[in-house]
Amino acid sequence: MADQNGHSGKDGLLFNKIAGALLGSFLTIMVVREVGGALYHPESLETPAYAIEVPEGDAHDAVKVVEVDFSTLLASADSAKGARVAKKCAACHTFDKGGKNGTGPNLWGVVGRASASVSGFNYSSALKSLGESWSFDTLSSFLESPKGFVKGTAMSFAGLRKPQDRANLLAYLRTLADNPLPLPEAAQTVEGAMPEMTTPTEH
């Protein structure tokens, strides 16, 4: 019995080894098939690769529409609301003609002004080397994220995330001038851009 037990024990072991080896190779085949399938699928299906380009075009259009939207926001912006937004700036900036520079430069006439051009204000070298004119566009980008637009600026202000707040504020800032710059026209392309946006999705 002991002999037989030992014998069958060895057989059992051998069986386990064979079963194990079979299972192992079976698993390996499964894994190889899965991985292989994942690798080869996109290559073998050329047509769906085209379809992927459509959402890309879509996203591009969406970005354009957002940009267009800002000038539309600006065209109907509320300068009285903008004056309220400007309170966030008053800790560092004055807005009146000939007002003193504070932590930041005086902002009278800033719309249309060359960047870093207030005399007597000690600008950071980052802002001095910007070399832009403060248009509605550049101001909007700067005010959305000062450090994003002028890396290294000394203006410690988180930014105005809401496009509506920036539009209202710019409508107000523009009035702080002897000859306010006209607001940009609401882009005519808004209506034109909409069908462009929907066309690719209907494919």
Residues that bind ligand HEC (CB under 6 A): 88-89, 91-93, 103-105, 107, 110, 115-118, 123-124, 126-127, 134, 139, 143, 153-157, 160
Least distance between ligand HEC and beta carbon 176 (Å): 11
CB of 119 to ligand HEC, least distance (A): 10
**Residue 118 or 193 having the CB closest to ligand HEC:** 118
Whose Cβ is closer to ligand HEC: residue 27's or residue 91's?
Answer: 91
For ligand HEC, which is the closer residue by CB, 172 or 187?
Answer: 172
Helices and strands (DSSP H and E) totals, the chain:
8, 0
Phi, psi of 178 (to 5 degrees): -65, -40
Residue 111 C-beta: closest distance to ligand HEC, Å: 9
CB of 55 to ligand HEC, least distance (A): 35
In total, the chain counts a number of residues equal to 203
Nearest to 194 by CA among 72, 75, 64: 64
Q: How far is the CB of 66 from ligand HEC (least distance, A)?
A: 21
Q: What residues does 165 pair with on adjacent strands?
A: none
Give 103 or 198: the residue with its C-beta nearer to ligand HEC.
103
Looking at beta carbons only, is 5 or 119 nearer to ligand HEC?
119
Q: Which residue has the tokens 């909409």?
A: 194
Joined together, the tokens standing for residue 166 give: 């920036």
Contacts by residues 91-100 (CB-CB < 8 Å, ≥ 24 positions apart): 92/155, 92/157, 95/173, 95/176, 97/176
* Cα separation, 159 vs 141, whole angstroms: 9
Does residue 142 contact residue 170 with C-beta atoms inside 8 Å?
A: no
